[in-house]
Chains A and B, each alone.
Chain A
Amino acid sequence: MATVFESLKQDETSFAAGLDPTMRTAAWFLLGHGLLWILLLVRWVTFGSVGWEPFEFETVLSEFPSITPYLLYGIGAAVDLVLGGAILREIGWAKTAAIGRNVVLIALATAYWWTADEFMGAIFFAALAGMILLLLTRQTAWAINYPAAFWLIIFFVLPNLIVFVISLSERGPRGTIIYPNILEDGFLSLFDDYARFFSRIGGQLIYLRIFWKSFWLALVNTIVCLLFGYPFAYWIARKPEKWRNILIFLVMIPFWTNFLVRTYAWMLLLRDTGLINNIWTITLHEQAQMLAGSSGFFAWLASITAEPLPLLFNQGAVFMGLFYGFFPFVVLPIYSNLEQLDWSLLEAAADLGASGFQTTIRVLLPLSMPGIVAAGIIVFVPSLGSYVTPAILGGGKVALLGNLLQQQFMTARDWPFGSAIGFLMMAIMLLAIMIYFRVGGARE
């Protein structure tokens, strides 16, 4: 990396000499790649003595005749070093040849992926070749954004495309996937699985009911989190600076423990034989029983503490778990918004005769709206798809969208329907957020 930057820096002075920074970077990439081939060759030769952990593509290579890796690495190193040097020396044919080299390498990587079905090795070499190709063809804007764009395409666009294609497919015998065939089935039948979401089971719109349940749970959770989180963030933001950092640090401490572990900890606290119910049915109950004769209040207390409180495995426990899990996600964005707020605006409002209530509603809230919107979305979207909390704290009794999805992929082995539910959820959330921003934008 350092060499790249150095070469870029040098180029400002040597620009007049003719070789532009893009080309120079491409050349250095090629030289680096040449070095990489040589390193791989060294690895290969020393496998017997060093005992490297083999990469996947090295295992594949070992199945070819033993000359193959030497030829591949040797030719690769030779070509890359020669081409890199040639571009630096501005030899005419070098650029065309280098473009050809990258096209060939991408083709090779694709062929390798196709035949050996190994993704990581193929994508590594294809990605490097793609970067050099962009530099050589002077797509500078693309080259600068290449790592981010590459990441998005490989890990976001492609997986979503795969899920979308599966959602148009059909469940085959025993949970296999039958890919769609437009010519045979017609266009509308592709969306069978989407239609199924709106179908009735036993006369009831079960899937829609699960959706509404999840939707309301997520909405209420968001509102409750905001109601508690906003004053809390406000309180932190008005503290002196050194206290603020300590308090925010305290908010983040729970993240050090895995969420699943924390959820199980709640289970230990809330269950019938857990800490809270032990205090309730043993400590409190015994004390109340001793005093029961003395007053009606203690007799009543003794009678209600005889049974444990129903704290776990119900809707309330799910609510509590979601609130607990998402509370920090509300505090952090609102705090970072309030921290930058110009508090003198509030003083000005007070000076001009606004009451405390008016200041809050007409000055503070509108100013902190971006933080509230961000916090709302951060909480709403994941709580709509929450899976762990209802499964553990709800005792598997409460069916929500997340559990329905899991059920389709695991027990029912109906990947097409599961993918369709996933896409519907995504579409609905996107729509909700778009409407939210439209309405918010119109108001301003």
Chain B
Amino acid sequence: MLKKFILFTTLIAAFALAACGGGPGGPGGGPEAGAGGGDGELAAELSVYNWADYIDEELLTQYEEEHGVKIIYDTYASNEDLLAKLNAGAEGYDVIFPSDYMVSIMIDQGLLAEIDVSTMSNIGNMDPQFMNAPFDPDNKHCVPYQWGTTGIGYRAGNEYFEANEPTSWKYLFDPEYLAEFADGGVNVLNDPRELSAAAAIYLGFDANTTDPAEMDQMLEVMLAAKPFWKTFNSEDYPSTLLVPDEVVLSHGWSGGVAQAYYETYDDEAEDGNWYYSIPEEGAVKWLDNICITATSERYDTAVHFMNFLLDAENGAAITNYVYYGSPNKAAEEFILPEILEDPSIYPPADVQEKLYWLTEASDEGAQAYDELWTAVKAGN
């Protein structure tokens, strides 16, 4: 019996050696077997990980058809989700879209691949004011994708707001003002840095302040206003709070409020229910970016896809779909006129001067912001 076993296994081994080859040959065609369709050097697939509802998916289909690259599309809800997933060792994502402060964190943690923008034929389309941003000098890792501001969204047709347009942070923080309309509901963004920055700008401080005395004052202001706030929501406030009229005023991102505007758009009245204003004290501006993960095995295809998104017509298609400003100067000729003329999406120069970037706080600063936030949440 033993002999039979030995004979059998030897046979198997011989057969296997004769067979030569086999095996899965790398995932999805693998890096070496990456001969895709159309363009010779492109990979067969590309994995794109984006914010939810943040691209016109027609563009993905268009790219697939033009270049024969199958796009695996997946979405996330916050910068922190994205970071947590990459930190947990998720591989296989090629193109990601982190915001400004997250880009600097990811660069520090070595999560982003370096790029050379001079190799991209469409880079000249970009508006110079969005290039070479403080979080990514010389665009060594990312190119700009979409930008916007954080301001105040309010219900059109509300009696109080018809007489008093909420063009100041007072309407979010001053109890005297809040008492007039807070019965109807007020939402603030469930985002420590955004809400703190709004309080800081309201008080005349730097949006990125870490001064303990100033932060104490910010906490006081927020705690005094908190009883008037109905919800803390930054995930789905346009659809669950703004559109169904759960609130009359909301701290919000420009595109979120615009989304509520277009969802409630009435063809007869030629107007939507939600207006957006950038407070006169100033506001936070932010920029989302297109980056490539350091672990990407399809680097060349990713760069090619990046360049595709920077194309003037494609950049315009994105803005026409998501209602955020495009950093793509050349795209403006293809962007819908009502978006270009909308001062809340494309603010005039004097307003632009009062828009500030959020920068990643130092480690002590980060803990101070976390404690400030915990104190706000635990209060009253």
Contact = CB atoms under 8 A, between A and B. Distances in A.
Interface stretch (A60-68, A105-113, A130-138, A324-332): A60-68
Among B20, B109, B229, B375, chain A packs the most CB atoms within 10 A around the CB of B375
B165 to A, nearest CB: 24
Interface stretch (A179-187, A229-237, A405-413): A405-413
Interface of A: 38, 41, 44-48, 52, 54, 58-59, 61-63, 66-67, 69-70, 73-74, 77-78, 81-82, 85-86, 89, 117, 171-176, 201-202, 204, 206-207, 209-210, 213, 267, 271-273, 307, 312-313, 395-399, 403-404, 407-414
Contacts of B9: 74, 77-78, 81-82
Contacts of B191: 411
A47 B23 contact: yes
A439 to B, nearest CB: 31
A202 B81 CA distance: 30
Interface residues of chain B: helix, strand, loop or mixed (majority): helix
A88 B218 CA distance: 78
Closest 4 CB pairs of A and B: A54-B24, A395-B231, A396-B232, A399-B377
9 contacts: A44-B16, A45-B22, A81-B5, A81-B8, A86-B2, A174-B363, A410-B78, A410-B81, A412-B370
Contact of A44 (B23, B27, B84, B373): B23
Interface in B7-27: 8-10, 12-13, 16-17, 19-27
Given A173-B108, A272-B245, A409 B16 contact: no
Residue with the greatest number of chain A CB neighbours at <10 A, chosen from B81, B109, B185, B372: B185
A45 to B, nearest CB: 5
B83 A41 contact: no
Contacts of A396: 190, 231-233
Interface string B87-114: 0010000000000000001001100000
A78 B6 contact: yes
A48 B24 CA distance: 8
A174 B246 contact: no
B374 A174 contact: no
Contact of A202 (B8, B109, B219): B219
Given A85-B1, A174-B108, A62 B80 contact: no
Given A78-B5, A395-B232, 5 more contacts: A59-B27, A81-B8, A175-B105, A312-B246, A407-B377
B56 interface: no
Contact of A47 (B25, B219, B240): B25
Contacts of A271: 244, 246
Nearest to A51: B24
B269 interface: no
A272 B245 CA distance: 8
Q: Give the contact-size bracket for chain B.
A: 35 or more
Given A62-B24, A82-B6, A414 B370 contact: yes
Contact of A70 (B16, B230, B372): B16
Contacts of A86: 2
Contacts of A413: 80, 83, 366
Contacts of A307: 183
B360 interface: yes
Interface string B48-84: 0000000000000000000000000000001011011
B341 interface: no
Given A271-B246, A407-B373, A209 B21 contact: no
B78 A73 contact: no
Interface string B194-231: 00000000000000000000001001000000100111
A46 B23 CA distance: 8
Contacts of B29: none
Contact of A409 (B12, B24, B84, B192): B84
Given A61-B23, A206-B378, A410-B78, A41 B360 contact: no
A14 to B, nearest CB: 17
Nearest to B374: A206
A176 B105 CA distance: 10
Given A62-B24, A397-B231, A410 B374 contact: no
Given A38-B12, A78-B6, A267-B240, A44 B22 contact: yes
A62 B378 contact: no
B121 interface: no
Contacts of B5: 78, 81-82, 85
B367 A414 contact: yes
B12 A52 contact: no
Contacts of A77: 9, 12
Contacts of B108: 173-174
B169 to A, nearest CB: 20
B371 interface: yes
A174 B109 contact: yes
Given A78-B9, A271-B246, A396-B233, A66 B378 contact: no
A408 to B, nearest CB: 8
A45 B18 CA distance: 10
Contact of B12 (A74, A82, A171, A312): A74
Nearest to A173: B363
A314 to B, nearest CB: 9
A410 B84 contact: yes
B22 A48 contact: yes
B232 A45 contact: no
Nearest to A44: B22
B24 A59 contact: yes
A271 B241 CA distance: 10
A312 B241 CA distance: 12
A89 B23 contact: no
A403 B22 contact: no
Contacts of A73: 16
B231 A52 contact: no
A339 to B, nearest CB: 42
B359 to A, nearest CB: 12
B1 A404 contact: no
B2 A407 contact: no
Contacts of B21: 48, 66
Contact of A201 (B23, B231, B371): B371
Contacts of B216: 202
B56 to A, nearest CB: 27
B94 to A, nearest CB: 17
B24 A273 contact: no
B37 to A, nearest CB: 19
Nearest to B232: A396
A89 B378 contact: no
A54 B25 CA distance: 9
Contacts of A213: 378
Contacts of A89: 1-2
Contact of B16 (A45, A85, A313): A45
A406 B360 CA distance: 20
